Amino acid sequence: MSMAHWLVSFVVLAMISGAVGGIIIVVDAFRCDIREGLLCSLVPFYLFYYMFAKRRHPRRALLIAVTAMGPLSLGILAVFGGIYVVKQFKLEEERMEARVALAQITQGVVATYIASENDPNPGGANLPPSAPPVPAYLSQVRGMMYRSSPVDWSGTWNRIQFSMREPQNFQYQWERKTSTQGIVRAIADLDGDGQVDVQFEVPISCSSSGSGSGCQIDSTATKKKGLKSIRAHLLQ
């Protein structure tokens, strides 16, 4: 069972315990005085004041502790819920960087292929040569961002008119398989544990005929941990 499941189980049990303790105190207050019972039922946290200052119950300490678990669990839930929301927002922001970059790289590769049809050299249309990964090593984006330099985006990167000025969370690469097929990749180790967390791949397959040229693009994103695959429509 994961930590999240343990936390949810604890919060649920704490809320149930708090509700049971609160009901016992309210019932006890009604038995003593209807007004006190109404105050305990309607006024937030009055039941704690009632047990502390107005009631000498033989199990007062236990009832207060059990009842307090309800508000305490809500506070814990709010804190961890906030942390989870922030982490998910940051993760989506990091993935959005990859989606935008891959769309631009793919468009540059396809545009270069189409432009090569007008190349006077023999051989017909060709996809641009492979571009080295930026950064060169995945460890350079291991739980941190990499700030590239213009030198990183030379050669084929310059030919497809792609570069990044802002720090990046992903390692980007264009690999040409054949003159008409290749793959654009974005790989990340977002938590810095030395393993690939997310890998986006955009296979490109182009063809040229007398009626014109065309390229088929299929984008996928693989979440390595858990081996869960999801679709990512990068060019929509």
Angle at 228 between CA 222 and CA 232, to 5 degrees: 45
pLDDT digits over 51-70, tens only?
666 666 566 565 666 566 66
The pLDDT value recorded for residue 192 is: 85
Categorize the per-residue pLDDT at 19 as very low, low, confident or very high, splitting at 50, 70 and 90. Answer: confident
Stretch (H or E) spanning 16 = helix 3-32
Of the spans 51-65, 108-122, 132-146, which averages the highest pLDDT? 132-146
pLDDT at 186 over 50: yes
Specify the range with the lowest mean pLDDT, choosing from 23-32, 100-109, 117-126: 117-126
The pair of structure tokens assigned to 177 is 């398989």
The pLDDT value recorded for residue 235 is: 37
- Name the more confident of 132 and 59: 132
- Cα dist. 58→9, 124, 132, 174 in Å? 30, 93, 75, 74
Please state, in angstroms and rounded to a whole number, the distance separating the CA atoms of residues 55 and 27: 13
Average pLDDT, rounded, for the chain? 77
Of the spans 15-29, 108-122, 169-183, 200-214, which averages the highest pLDDT? 169-183
Question: Which residue do the tokens 């791949």 mark?
Answer: 201
Exposed/middle/buried for residue 25 (C-beta within 10 Å: 0-12, 13-18, 19+): buried
Count other C-beta atoms under 10 Å from residue 142's C-beta.
17
